[in-house]
């Protein structure tokens, strides 16, 4: 039997590289398509690499013809909220126009299964509620708006061309491959856990707590964290859903509960047995008090249940990766 190929856009990035590892374990051949603007060549370890930009239709057509993938798994995107607020045009161009080019190339090649990495940022500022698939979407910046637009495009191409899509919405992804073959590394780094580990390791002076006067038990905001390996396993289940002919579907991925920033810091202190230098700063504009994402539909329909998404395991895996070396070396 010929090995089934999956085209993974952004496969040199944090989540995409972990998805490639799980895809290979599941019997697929992951082909990474990445322009290496934010991804890392050293993260491509589990299948072929094709360098290219999503805006380059000719290059995409070459790759689709070469590999004849059974599906696309689309992670490539700009994803910094502050950058999106300051430069919305970049996000509409890099996320929406590039995704349109990718979708059109996929449809033209006859590749009609599409797994899309979306975000709960499409919901906007809906504080203190468990967000699910039926929650109204009201994005408040170009990042969330661009992701919602791509969701709409997938729906439209489903109606016009028979494109089947599974869309995943999620918030905070954490942790790393337990075997430390790949992990989380951004430049600049904006995510809480790697920033905290940098502070523990002396690579930055301290971790800044952005607001300590929120109406939560310890004054810091609460977020839902999902282990990256749990997350990418859901994406493989979504791919299998499509290959089984079950049609288009939207799923939220979360634990339904959350941890405060101070809880994350306390757990990191326990896991690493090291002090965590912190400084207190003002709130950031737009930061909600509590954001959690339910996943009852994913559990019921996909059979997905996060098994690694505890703070000790996410931080321990991230710390192991942090100590093992980064792509920049």
Round to whole Å and give the CA distance between 126 and 259.
Answer: 17
Q: What is the DSSP letter of 3?
A: P
Q: H-type helices in 8-141, by residue range?
A: 14-25, 57-67, 81-86, 88-91, 98-109
Chain position carrying tokens 């396993």:
233
Helix axes 192-200, 311-324, angle to 10 degrees: 60
Q: Coil, helix or strand for 168?
A: strand
Could you list the beta-strand ranges (E) of the chain: 5-9, 29-34, 49-51, 71-74, 113-117, 130-131, 164-170, 172-174, 207-210, 222-223, 225-227, 249-253, 259-260, 278-281, 290-293
Token pair recorded at residue 327: 């792509």
33 catalytically annotated: no
Among residues 143, 170, 214, 225, which one is catalytic? 143
Q: β-pairing, 225-227 with 222-223?
A: unpaired
Contact partners, residue 319, CB within 8 Å, separation at least 6: 197, 268, 271, 272
Q: How many residues belong to the chain?
A: 329
Q: Which residues are catalytic?
A: 143
């Amino acid at each position: 039997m010929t090995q089934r190929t999956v085209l993974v856009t952004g496969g040199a990035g944090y989540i995409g590289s972990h998805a490639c590892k799980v895809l290979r374990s599941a019997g697929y051949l992951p082909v990474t398509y990445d322009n290496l603007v934010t991804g890392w060549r050293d993260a491509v370890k589990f299948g072929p690499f094709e360098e290219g930009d999503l805006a380059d239709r000719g290059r995409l057509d070459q790759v689709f013809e070469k590999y004849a993938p059974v599906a696309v798994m689309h992670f490539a995107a700009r994803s910094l909220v502050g950058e999106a607020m300051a430069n919305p045009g970049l996000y509409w161009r890099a996320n929406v126009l590039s995704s349109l080019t990718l979708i059109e190339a996929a449809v033209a090649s006859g590749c009609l299964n599409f797994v899309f990495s979306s975000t709960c940022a499409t919901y906007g500022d809906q504080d203190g509620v468990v967000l699910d698939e039926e929650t109204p979407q009201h994005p408040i910046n170009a990042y969330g708006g661009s992701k919602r637009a791509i969701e709409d495009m997938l729906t439209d191409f489903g109606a016009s061309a028979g494109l089947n899509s599974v869309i995943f919405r999620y918030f905070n992804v954490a942790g790393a491959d337990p075997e430390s073959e790949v992990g989380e590394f951004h430049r600049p780094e904006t995510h809480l856990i790697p920033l905290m580990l940098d502070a523990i390791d002396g690579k930055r002076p301290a971790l800044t707590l952005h607001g300590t006067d929120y109406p939560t038990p310890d004054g810091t905001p609460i977020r839902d964290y999902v282990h990256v390996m749990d997350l990418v396993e859901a994406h493989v289940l979504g791919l299998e859903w499509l290959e089984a002919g079950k049609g288009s579907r939207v799923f939220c991925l979360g634990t339904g509960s959350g941890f405060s920033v101070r809880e994350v810091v306390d757990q990191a202190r326990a896991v690493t047995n090291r002090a965590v230098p912190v400084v207190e700063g003002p709130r950031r504009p737009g930061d909600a008090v509590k954001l959690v994402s339910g996943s009852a539909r994913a559990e019921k329909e996909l059979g997905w249940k996060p098994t690694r998404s505890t703070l000790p395991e996410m931080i321990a895996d991230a710390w192991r990766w942090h100590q093992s070396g980064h792509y920049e070396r």
